[in-house]
Amino acid sequence: MNVMDTRATSAMLYLDGVHVSFDGFHAINNLSLALEPGEMRAIIGPNGAGKTTMMDIITGKTKPDEGTVLFDGTVDLTRLDETRIAELGIGRKFQKPTVFESQTVQDNLLLALNVDHSVRGTLFWRGSKAESERIDKVLETIRLTDARNRLAGSLSHGQKQWLEIGMLLAQDPKVLLVDEPVAGMTDVETHLTAELLKEINKNHTIMVVEHDMTFVRELGVKVTCLHEGTVLAEGSIDQVSSNERVVEVYLGR
């Protein structure tokens, strides 16, 4: 297979024939997936299907045993580490909300801002109007303006999820990988989150991993179902949810 052939598709994120195993357990098995620029893709699948491991591979946390992972058609992500990949413009929200709990909401966003990340740069950093305006805007988007001076650790679970999405916004990456954004949220919050992601999708490519089928349906985007580390089905939510195999292994009869 020739890698350069696929460049024609100009996929933002391109995985082909990826394998990973941990101590003999095949977590990812010949996984191929392409995410077009500006696309939002929902990933579903049962526990252990390899969803999070796939994100680990894209963000450089786990190195695949074999296979191709390309960003923007040209950059081989398997050779880079997390920091470098983040710098390229791939942001990630973890399954368990991970924010800097002992710092304020505002500082969390400040840290996420896509500015000079060198030791020197941060030591002599002195803030700018543009930066604070950007933070204000993100705070507004994620509805945390009133909580800006609160410690992130004191936020509710849903607020932490939003703060983490807000950090992604502040980071302003080209691709957002969002792992279970609505876990533990109320219906209203879930709905708001879907709206928020759709809003973000206007300027960003997004990959969402989620179990909540109502939420996935609400997003109304192309769905990929993973099972045992490989793609089981791909298509619209209706197509996928009517797939025999998907029903068998995931949705249940």
Partner 1 sequence: MPALAGPFEDSVAKFANDEFSDTEAAIGEVAASGNALASPIISALQDGRLSADPDSKKVFITQTDGKIVDATTGAAVDKLPDNAAAVRLNNRLRRTVEAALGGLTLLSPDPAKRLAAAQSVFKSHEENLLPTVESALAKESVKPIKQAFAEARAAIILFKPDASDSDKLDAVAVVKARGDQEALALLTGLGDQPPLVAKAAASAVSAIQSNLAMWSMVQNAWYGLSLGSVLLLAAIGLAITFGVMGVINMAHGEMVMIGAYTTFVVQEVIRTRYPALFDYSLLIAVPLAFLVAGFIGVLIERTIIRFLYGRPLETLLATWGLSLVLQQAVRTAFGPTNREVGNPSWMSGAFELGQITITYNRLWILCFTLAVFAILLAMLRYTALGLEMRAVTQNRRMAASMGIATSRVDALTFGLGSGIAGIAGVALSQIDNVSPNLGQSYIIDSFMVVVFGGVGNLWGTLVGAFTLGIANKFLEPVAGAVLGKIAILVLIILFIQKRPRGLFALKGRAVEA
Partner 2 sequence: MTPHILTRSLDRAATAFILIVAAVGVLIPLSNLLLPQGSMFQVPTYLVALWGKYVCYAILALSIDLIWGYCGILSLGHGAFFALGGYAMGMYLMRQIGSRGVYGNPILPDFMVFLNWDKLPWYWYGFDKFAFAALMVLLVPGLLAFCFGWLAFRSRVTGVYLSIITQAMTYALLLAFFRNDFGFGGNNGLTDFKDILGFNVQAEGTRAALFLLSCLALIIGFLICRTIVTSKLGKVLIAVRDAESRTRFLGYRVESYKLFVFTLSACMAGVAGALYVPQVGIINPSEFAPANSIEAVIWVAVGGRGTLIGAALGAVVVNYAKTFFTSGPLAPYWLFMLGALFILVTLLLPKGIVGTFNSWWETSKATNGSPDADSAAREDGVGAPNPAE
Which one among 99, 144, 147, 175 touches partner 2, defined by CB under 8 A? Answer: 99
User: How many CB atoms neighbour CB 217 within 10 A?
Assistant: 15
Q: Cβ neighbours of residue 5 under 8 Å, at least 6 residues apart?
A: none
- The footprint of partner 1 (CB under 8 A) covers 22-23, 25, 27, 52-53, 56, 61-62
- Residue keyed to tokens 């709206």: 195
Both tokens assigned to 226: 């993973």
Smallest distance, partner 1 to C-beta of residue 28, A: 11
Q: Of 176, 168, 30, whose CA–CA distance to 99 is shortest?
A: 168
114 binds partner 2 (CB under 8 A): yes
Stretch that binds partner 2, among 11-19, 80-88, 185-193, 213-221 (CB under 8 A): 80-88
Smallest distance, partner 2 to C-beta of residue 171, A: 6
Smallest distance, partner 2 to C-beta of residue 79, A: 16
101 binds partner 2 (CB under 8 A): yes
Binders of partner 2 in range 124-143 (CB under 8 A): 124-126
Both tokens assigned to 31: 């996984």
Beta carbon nearer to partner 1, 51 or 204:
51
Q: Of 82, 2, 71, whose CA–CA distance to 37 is shortest?
A: 71
The partner residues of 26 in beta bridges, in order of sequence, read 21
Gap between the Cα atoms of 32 and 66, Å rounded: 12
Strands 175-179 and 205-209: parallel
Smallest distance, partner 1 to C-beta of residue 234, A: 24
Smallest distance, partner 1 to C-beta of residue 6, A: 28
Gap between the Cα atoms of 169 and 224, Å rounded: 24
Q: Where are the alpha helices (DSSP H) in 47-112?
A: 51-58, 82-88, 105-112
Stretch that binds partner 2, among 19-27, 39-47, 99-107, 187-195 (CB under 8 A): 99-107
Stretch that binds partner 2, among 18-26, 70-78, 114-122, 214-222 (CB under 8 A): 114-122
Which of the choices partner 1, partner 2, none does residue 92 contact, using the CB cut-off of 5 to 8 A by kind?
Answer: partner 2
Q: Cβ neighbours of residue 219 under 8 Å, at least 6 residues apart?
A: 40, 42, 194, 197, 198, 208
Smallest distance, partner 2 to C-beta of residue 163, A: 12
Which of the choices partner 1, partner 2, none does residue 86 contact, using the CB cut-off of 5 to 8 A by kind?
Answer: partner 2
